[in-house]
């Protein structure tokens, strides 16, 4: 096992009605920026619950944070923060809203051009404190310090991570997910599954705790994901999906083990260029990446096949093939297509994605840093 230092500062408020606790977790006399997206929270009652909890407090609203939040939109919050002396941000929504709120929290106290946080990895050690009310289980953003922001002008989708933007608390009420369109449930389950894979499907380092937790999360998603689609108002299923997605990327299973993240890095370029949903890009890239990197990931692919998909085969070679097929089938069962060509993109899109990977310096991805641009090209050609 590798060395690690681990602390998760996010207090989880899980279950029905937990939004009523928000006020008790805010600083006294807080001036709150309520950040949200395109308005789903107004249709499903989440907005009312949150506002009821904030009654009597100063609340300034900032809405319109779009899926794959844009730098251009987010910086519009900065003058509001100044004008109203905002000292706490409450993000209500999915990963995009929470990621957007994290960027706003950092940008508000950043000296210099806030885009440098993403483009240059500019360091910072302060941000406005924030909390989250999660409405879409997927990204784990509610209890990690990561954020992904897109600059529309240059079609760049870039990430940053810093513990100072990790939410102080997160409300996880599974009831809030009942109104999710089917597509967003599919996206969330696949995203969470791939988060586990990025921290698991590398090479063994004798870490049975991390492996066992990771396998349990994946088995839960494989079992509960399809049920969340077929029985949309089953509370327990939604609760299990929600907790799986949080556990998948709250830092726990990734401690002391190698991590990959190549699928995410390549996937971000597909979203930046063509607007594909984040999870769609992962479903495209991962099965092909497993195929092309099968030798490097051999032991862990076998372990995934046996422990997660319950597969047996006459030879290791067969088991690898079956495990990759099972992964692809799971994404398809969740209703997500796994080939670039199925999204009506022409063959030349492979070259366009390659161009972006090159521009963004993604020439040594993966747990060994051996996914060069040539290897990425093979993965994309295989995925077409
Ligand atoms: O904008 P509103 O009106 O809220 O509608 C949203 C949005 O249109 C809707 N929605 C959310 N909750 C709902 C609902 N509709 C009905 N009922 C509800 N309860 O769903 C749509 C998609 O929301 P979005 O937040 O974009 O989805 P998701 O949570 O999948 O977030 C995706 C973003 O997170 C980033 C992705 O790259 C992408 O930008 N990621 C963030 C990570 C992190 N911070 O750790 C890690 C991930 O790998 C990922 O990269
Ligand atoms: Zn993801």
How high is the pLDDT of residue 128? 98
Q: Which of 48, 66, 94 to mutate to test the pocket of ligand 1 (most atoms within 8 A of CB)?
A: 94
CB 198 within 8 A of CB 260: yes
Residue identifier of the C-alpha nearest atom 46 of ligand 1: 139
pTM score:
0.98
How far is C-alpha 174 from the geometric centre of its chain's CA atoms?
18
Residue nearest to atom 18 of ligand 1 (CA): 180
Q: What is the DSSP letter of 203?
A: -
| Best residue for ligand 1 mutational test, from 69, 143, 148, 254 (most atoms within 8 Å of Cβ) | 148
Place of tokens 């990771």: 214
d(CA 139, CA 242): 10
Which of 296, 213, 201 minimizes the C-alpha distance to 247?
213
pLDDT of residue 158: 95
Distance CA 203, CA 200 (A): 8
Which stretch of DSSP H or E encloses residue 230?
helix 208-230
Pocket of ligand 1 (CB under 6 A): 37-41, 44, 67-68, 93-97, 99, 135-136, 138-141, 144, 146-148, 176-177, 179-180, 184, 187-188, 191, 249, 264, 278
- Centre of ligand 1 to C-alpha 68, Å, is 7
Mutation probe of ligand 1 site: the residue of 47, 93, 150, 172 with most atoms within 8 A of C-beta: 93
pLDDT score, position 15: 98
Q: From CA 177, how far away is CA 193, in angstroms rounded?
A: 18
CB 266 within 8 A of CB 198: no
CA angle 25, 29, 30 (to 5 degrees): 60
Which regions in the chain score pLDDT beneath 50?
none
Please tell me the distance between residue 1's alpha carbon and the centre of ligand 2 in angstroms.
24
In which residue are the tokens 């994404």 written? 331
Counting ligand 1 atoms within 8 A of each CB, the residue from 97, 278, 280, 334 with the most, and so the one to mutate, is 278
CA dist., res. 184 & res. 84, Å (int): 34
- Report the separation in Å between the CA atom of 102 and the middle of ligand 1, taken as the mean of its atom positions: 14
pLDDT of res. 363 = 97
Q: Which residue's C-alpha comes closest to atom 50 of ligand 1?
A: 148
For residues 166-181, one letter each, b for 16 or more C-beta atoms within 10 angstroms of the residue's C-beta and e for the rest, the string is: bbebbbbbbbbbeebe
Q: What is the DSSP string of 161-190?
A: E-GGGS-SEEEE-GGGGTT--HHHHHHHHH
Distance CA 115, CA 325 (A): 40
pLDDT tens digits for 66-99? 999 999 999 999 999 999 999 999 999 999 999 9
Backbone angles phi, psi at 322, to 5 degrees: -65, -35
pLDDT at residue 130 in the model: 98
With left for phi above 0 and alpha for psi between -120 and 50, is residue 335 left, alpha or beta? left
**For residue 46, which atom of ligand 1 is closest to its CA?**
19
Biggest distance spanned by C-alpha atoms of the chain:
68
Secondary structure of residue 58 in the 3-state scheme: strand
pLDDT of residue 63: 98
Is residue 64 within 8 A of residue 170, CB to CB? The reply is no
Q: Which ligand is nearest to the CA of 148?
A: 1
């Amino acid at each position: 096992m590798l060395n690690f230092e681990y602390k998760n500062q996010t207090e989880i408020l899980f279950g029905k009605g937990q939004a009523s606790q928000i006020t008790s977790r805010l600083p006294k006399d807080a001036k709150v920026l309520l950040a949200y997206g395109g308005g789903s929270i107004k249709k499903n009652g989440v907005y009312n619950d949150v506002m009821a909890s904030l009654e009597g407090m100063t609340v300034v609203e900032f809405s319109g944070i779009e899926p794959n939040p844009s730098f251009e939109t987010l910086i519009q919050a900065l003058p509001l923060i100044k004008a109203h002396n905002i000292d706490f941000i409450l993000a209500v929504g999915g990963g995009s809203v929470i990621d957007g709120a994290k960027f706003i929290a950092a940008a508000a106290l950043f000296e210099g051009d806030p885009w440098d946080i993403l483009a240059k990895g500019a360091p910072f050690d302060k941000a406005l404190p924030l909390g989250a009310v999660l409405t879409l289980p997927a990204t784990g953003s509610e209890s990690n310090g990561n954020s992904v922001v897109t600059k529309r002008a240059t079609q760049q989708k870039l990430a940053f991570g810093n513990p100072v933007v990790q939410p102080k608390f997160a409300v996880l009420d599974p009831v809030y997910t009942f109104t999710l369109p089917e597509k967003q449930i599919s996206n969330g389950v696949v995203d969470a599954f791939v988060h586990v894979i990025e921290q698991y499907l590398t090479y063994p380092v004798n870490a049975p705790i991390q492996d066992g937790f990771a396998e349990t999360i994946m088995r839960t998603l494989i079992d509960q994901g399809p049920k969340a689609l077929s029985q949309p108002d089953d509370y327990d299923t939604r609760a299990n999906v929600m907790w799986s997605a949080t556990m998948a990327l709250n830092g726990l299973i990734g401690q002391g083990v190698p991590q990959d993240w190549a699928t995410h890095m390549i996937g971000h370029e597909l979203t930046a260029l063509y607007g594909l949903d984040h999870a769609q890009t992962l479903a495209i890239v991962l099965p092909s990446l497993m195929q092309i990197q099968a030798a490097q990931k051999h032991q862990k692919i076998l372990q995934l096949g046996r422990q997660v998909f319950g597969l047996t085969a006459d030879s290791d070679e067969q088991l690898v093939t079956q495990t990759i097929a099972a992964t692809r089938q799971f994404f398809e069962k969740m209703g997500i297509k796994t080939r670039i060509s199925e999204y009506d993109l022409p063959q030349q899109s492979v070259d366009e994605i390659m161009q972006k990977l090159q521009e963004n310096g993604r020439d040594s991805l993966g747990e060994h840093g051996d996914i060069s641009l040539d290897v990425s090209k093979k993965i994309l050609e295989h995925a077409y």
